[in-house]
Structure 1
């Protein structure tokens, strides 16, 4: 049986997922969110216990009853709507953000309702849902009219992709979501999606969601190349190869011709650009650029394309200056590749996580500063142009020279502002340059440092969320549907040149066979390494477990003096944890005599309030008084509704237990010693039966029976009196 066709541990079928209605959920959630939230509330206020119980929980229960697997996706779609509304409607931005936050909370809590079934949970997060699924035809037509005739209304996304695009970091960092993300990253969960925006689509055999088992999988499984854990290792190796070829290219450059190392670098770099373009096209630019590392990769792609353009111009037309400029531009690419390779080891550092936000804040602030000081630049250029007519034209200040002087002053060379001030104008020059130096070095740089410090502090407070957010992005990017992602650079160029033209000619089945064959040929050593690791060395495999057992056996055979050496104990680990685990793994025999007999008899049970009060106040006389027959209320002994608290509680429980045993207990007492477990069990059973007789229900039945008997006696007495009166009246009439 083909491994791809195995149906064990499958998620809901694609046919069933295609019938799940999505569109009706979106307006319903939007309506409930608008009806519920009318004021600006923060995350802490919305998650407060009182507000959560009165507002959030009823909505969660309402939509959880539907058991619709697309409800999490619908909540995130509505969140995207409210976020867009908050940007366009500033008057109600706070309210819109609160409603968006409510949608994220609903998505988190609704996701937990699917956590009992792991396969179903994975399907909820990874299935590509179409927002118009289940919509009436007239609604679909209206959407097409709004978007236009050329719009794609079947553009589907998964819940994880929607969470990334809407910056739902709380949702992504929740334990339920991270459980799925970790399983996808490690390759324990395997699934594939249909490619819709791919450079090379291979949709012949879409795979359902399965739990991967290396014992049933083929040895050369080409689908393991898409596991994000292995993809991260291969990506590091690809970057290392690209960096080595870059260094060799710059070390052996020739302006007149293309050397071997330069050609090899161009081959690797072109394959890298193709991979990044395919990634951005597959998942969209928003999700692609949300990863901080993709910003570095895009920058290097721009540098490489500029280098190629200048290099082609220099070689084609013989312009050595263009070729020299091409290598100079390429040298700038080393500023990106070197830290990009180093960031693989420190990707979880808070400084690295905040680097992207700091760069954005810095660029934004510098752009505002440039706009503010553009007027000063024009003023200084005008003063220098018209001030000193005796200065030769070549010695006058140009616009570029003034701009560079302002940049030097901005970054700390304040003495230049005083040395060159009079060269612009004898009166206004010193005043303008002193004002600029004071603003740039004292005020604006202080503001810039404060902004960057606040950015780092904000991300440091949410460093875990930011790391998990970036981890989810890289994981989703690793599970790509494009067939080119199974090829390692530069073989993706070969696959594109071979399979892309073939996709227009051959059938989908033939294309799939060619794709699998080419993947196994080009990645043969990598597939062997992955197969050997997963079959023998991965967690839970036989070879690893046997070697671990052998190591533990060797360690246990050592003398205690060697075991207690601090260095060996630190390397191997303390044996106390093994002892604790062993205690809980065994079936402990029952221990007799640990608790007193009275504690066993008085083990807490669920009782009503009245029975609890009765049992605590009259435990000793309960059994004896329950056997006493209640006398008739007509005899004047007591009222039938007399409470049990009026009973005599002067007899102790010891007296009752010693003298009031049942015949069954006495019978077993003759067979077994008094201290045997059989007698204790019989005694507990007798006590439970006596307690059952004294329950309020039985007392109420006895009292109702007494009332009925009393009513019958009264009716009998009245009937007797009535008959006597009738007899006396009849006799008087006859007289």
Structure 2
């Protein structure tokens, strides 16, 4: 994998808007697209995204940072244009399969490299599981998520593939770093799913993102109900509800841990509710430790464990709101701003620890018994109140540390903390929110892509809902070392189908009757065809566009509007602006001849 765009872009800090201007588009972007676009070679987009990840991670120093960002931006733009050409030149279902192979079929970064180069450059990873030759592969879509290539992800070609993967129309064997319960006896090639030809109890449908989303919401609702019942009955001691919650939450935490190591923390952190899940895992871990202490000292009824568990309520209720509205721009903004808030809060706590130490060290050691020195917690409380601008007691009591230096430190802390750092925090959060709102469609497409890609799991542990995943780890994982790979695969699939039989049956019947089925004409309206738009006086305006056109009218529209047969592309507009009309006309005529030959 060579740096395909490293020598073509000038050493100037260009932005995406600069590359889209007619002059740079004609001088740099279009020649690169014409050179790199080759229908037999579908790996060029993967190579461009690999280069983008490299350039983004090689930002060092003030001189090369903007240049590397410009090169990364050019790689994304060229990859987007090349992907769009593949999309335009390959319509229909075969085109969808080709686009899926480009984006979600795995490639090895050292693919095609000599053995000595691969042996010298490839670093050892721990652990590397046997996947039948697919151990080191990554997908172009994963690279786009890692590099936050939102322009590429929001393109129509990428959205078409993501939607197909989300609905289960495109099926493939996902690639992951490590699996807790690996079962890679069979590697399914990327293909288009036909529900009429598939088995009724098809356990592979459990990793379809749309099915996974519904299953995860239901599992989280069960967790929330068990948590509420535990807290309502918390005064009766260690009861059955707390036992059920503890076991179920342990299975849920195991599933969360498996999700993190499935595609790595970098991809998992892009999920909207990743910080909420991590917060609950930390609270649950503290609850377990505190409950063990309560058991040892004999205070199960009024111990510390249930007090720790109380603080999980805001996390769980907020998490269900994120689940119900995952594409809401407000929640997307909160996820992005939480990163800035956490980073700046950590810096502030680190820097202002020096004020705490200075104040404590200023306290004289020869105090009388009537004037006790303030404790660490008291000083922290005074500083925290000053930080939020709630109380000025710390400034009034600062003379207890030192007559001159105590008030000086407190006032300096008030200026730096309450004024400077909070102003910077508000400015950062405002800038982040404005940036997200300005490109709302791209942000929503990016988050939807992250959820879709992360929902396709290769680990067999996700086929076992909590708390059965704990039982699967305890029984099937030791069994894997005792039987052959084929026998383990047979046992694993049989257990999954038995355990998920009702859900698999509903999924199979739904997909056979409703999914990608042609609409059947109805002689008279029925209860199943009734829509709630009947309550609106403007319901007919929405319904009229959903009625299929008669065949004769559709043919007349095609005859009266032949312009659709020769699509107008963005590159054509750029070509006219840059006086590159012959190439534009040549491409339009080529596409026109292709469409007529297909017709």
2:364 aligned partner: 385
| Paired residue secondary structure (1:320) | coil
The alignment's TM-score, normalised by the length of structure 2, stands at 0.83
Q: Give the conservation status (yes or no) of the 8 Å contact 1:255–1:320.
A: no
Provide the rounded CA distance (Å) in 1 between the counterparts of 2:411 and 2:14. 47
Q: Give the conservation status (yes or no) of the 8 Å contact 2:387–2:414.
A: yes
How big is the shift at 1:340?
0.3
How big is the shift at 1:185?
0.3
Instruction: State whether structure 2 residue 439 is matched by structure 1 residue 462.
Output: yes
CA offsets 1:142-169 (integer angstroms, 9 cap, x no match) = 214xx36979695211111111112212
2:341 aligned partner: 362
Provide the rounded CA distance (Å) in 2 between the counterparts of 1:418 and 1:170. 51
Provide the rounded CA distance (Å) in 1 between the counterparts of 2:127 and 2:435. 39
- State which of 328, 334, 346 in structure 1 corresponds to 2:307: 328
1:401 aligned partner: 378
1:570 aligned partner: 538
Provide the rounded CA distance (Å) in 1 between the counterparts of 2:65 and 2:528. 65
**Pair 194,358 (structure 1): closer, same or farther in 2 beyond 3 Å:** closer
Provide the rounded CA distance (Å) in 1 between the counterparts of 2:492 and 2:200. 18
The alignment's TM-score, normalised by the length of structure 1, stands at 0.68
How big is the shift at 1:407?
0.1
**Pair 167,356 (structure 1): closer, same or farther in 2 beyond 3 Å:** same
How big is the shift at 1:438?
4.3
CA offsets 1:567-607 (integer angstroms, 9 cap, x no match) = 5653454676479944973555999xxxxxxxxxxxxxxxx
How big is the shift at 1:76?
1.0
- State which of 122, 146, 161 in structure 2 corresponds to 1:165: 146
Higher RCO structure, 1 or 2 (CA under 8 Å, sep 6+): 2
| Paired residue secondary structure (2:188) | coil
- State which of 156, 179, 186 in structure 2 corresponds to 1:175: 156
- State which of 304, 310, 326 in structure 2 corresponds to 1:347: 326
1:585 aligned partner: 553
How big is the shift at 1:482?
1.1
Instruction: State whether structure 2 residue 97 is matched by structure 1 residue 122.
Output: no
Q: Which region of structure 1 is more displaced relative to structure 2, 367-376 or 45-54?
A: 367-376
2:590 aligned partner: none
Provide the rounded CA distance (Å) in 2 between the counterparts of 1:284 and 1:429. 48
1:203 aligned partner: 184
How big is the shift at 1:272?
0.9
Q: Give the conservation status (yes or no) of the 8 Å contact 1:163–1:171.
A: yes
1:277 aligned partner: 257
Instruction: State whether structure 2 residue 348 is matched by structure 1 residue 373.
Output: no
Q: Give the conservation status (yes or no) of the 8 Å contact 2:177–2:261.
A: no
**Pair 411,502 (structure 1): closer, same or farther in 2 beyond 3 Å:** same
How big is the shift at 1:435?
4.3
Provide the rounded CA distance (Å) in 2 between the counterparts of 1:424 and 1:411. 22
How big is the shift at 1:72?
1.2
Q: Give the conservation status (yes or no) of the 8 Å contact 1:187–1:228.
A: yes
Instruction: State whether structure 2 residue 194 is matched by structure 1 residue 213.
Output: yes
1:244 aligned partner: 225
- State which of 233, 238, 241 in structure 1 corresponds to 2:214: 233
**Pair 342,94 (structure 1): closer, same or farther in 2 beyond 3 Å:** same
CA offsets 1:266-289 (integer angstroms, 9 cap, x no match) = 221111111112122221221122
Instruction: State whether structure 2 residue 63 is matched by structure 1 residue 91.
Output: yes
**Pair 323,302 (structure 1): closer, same or farther in 2 beyond 3 Å:** farther
Provide the rounded CA distance (Å) in 2 between the counterparts of 1:312 and 1:176. 53
Is there any run of 5+ residues in structure 1 with no aligned partner, and where?
1-25, 556-564, 592-735
| Paired residue secondary structure (1:344) | helix
Instruction: State whether structure 2 residue 42 is matched by structure 1 residue 74.
Output: no
- State which of 470, 476, 492 in structure 2 corresponds to 1:515: 492
- State which of 452, 457, 460 in structure 1 corresponds to 2:429: 452
1:668 aligned partner: none
1:292 aligned partner: 272
Q: Which structure: larger Rg?
A: 1
| Paired residue secondary structure (2:55) | helix
Q: Give the conservation status (yes or no) of the 8 Å contact 1:169–1:465.
A: yes
Q: Give the conservation status (yes or no) of the 8 Å contact 1:41–1:98.
A: yes
Provide the rounded CA distance (Å) in 1 between the counterparts of 2:219 and 2:534. 41
Provide the rounded CA distance (Å) in 1 between the counterparts of 2:125 and 2:499. 42
- State which of 18, 22, 32 in structure 2 corresponds to 1:59: 32
How big is the shift at 1:136?
0.9
Instruction: State whether structure 2 residue 392 is matched by structure 1 residue 420.
Output: no
Q: Give the conservation status (yes or no) of the 8 Å contact 2:280–2:315.
A: yes
Q: Give the conservation status (yes or no) of the 8 Å contact 1:296–1:336.
A: yes
- State which of 484, 495, 509 in structure 1 corresponds to 2:461: 484
How big is the shift at 1:350?
2.2
RMSD between superposed Cα atoms in Å: 3.2
**Pair 354,588 (structure 1): closer, same or farther in 2 beyond 3 Å:** closer
**Pair 320,151 (structure 1): closer, same or farther in 2 beyond 3 Å:** closer
1:699 aligned partner: none
Provide the rounded CA distance (Å) in 2 between the counterparts of 1:233 and 1:314. 37
Instruction: State whether structure 2 residue 19 is matched by structure 1 residue 46.
Output: yes
2:568 aligned partner: none
1:521-600 aligned at under 5 Å gives the runs 521-538=498-515, 540=517, 545=520, 550=525, 567=535, 569-573=537-541, 577=545, 581-582=549-550, 585-588=553-556
How big is the shift at 1:265?
0.9
Instruction: State whether structure 2 residue 137 is matched by structure 1 residue 137.
Output: no
CA offsets 1:632-687 (integer angstroms, 9 cap, x no match) = xxxxxxxxxxxxxxxxxxxxxxxxxxxxxxxxxxxxxxxxxxxxxxxxxxxxxxxx
**Pair 384,495 (structure 1): closer, same or farther in 2 beyond 3 Å:** same
**Pair 502,468 (structure 1): closer, same or farther in 2 beyond 3 Å:** same
How big is the shift at 1:539?
5.5
Question: What is the total number of aligned residue pairs between the two structures?
Answer: 546
- State which of 448, 468, 473 in structure 1 corresponds to 2:450: 473
1:693 aligned partner: none
Q: Give the conservation status (yes or no) of the 8 Å contact 1:45–1:51.
A: yes
Instruction: State whether structure 2 residue 241 is matched by structure 1 residue 264.
Output: no
How big is the shift at 1:236?
0.7
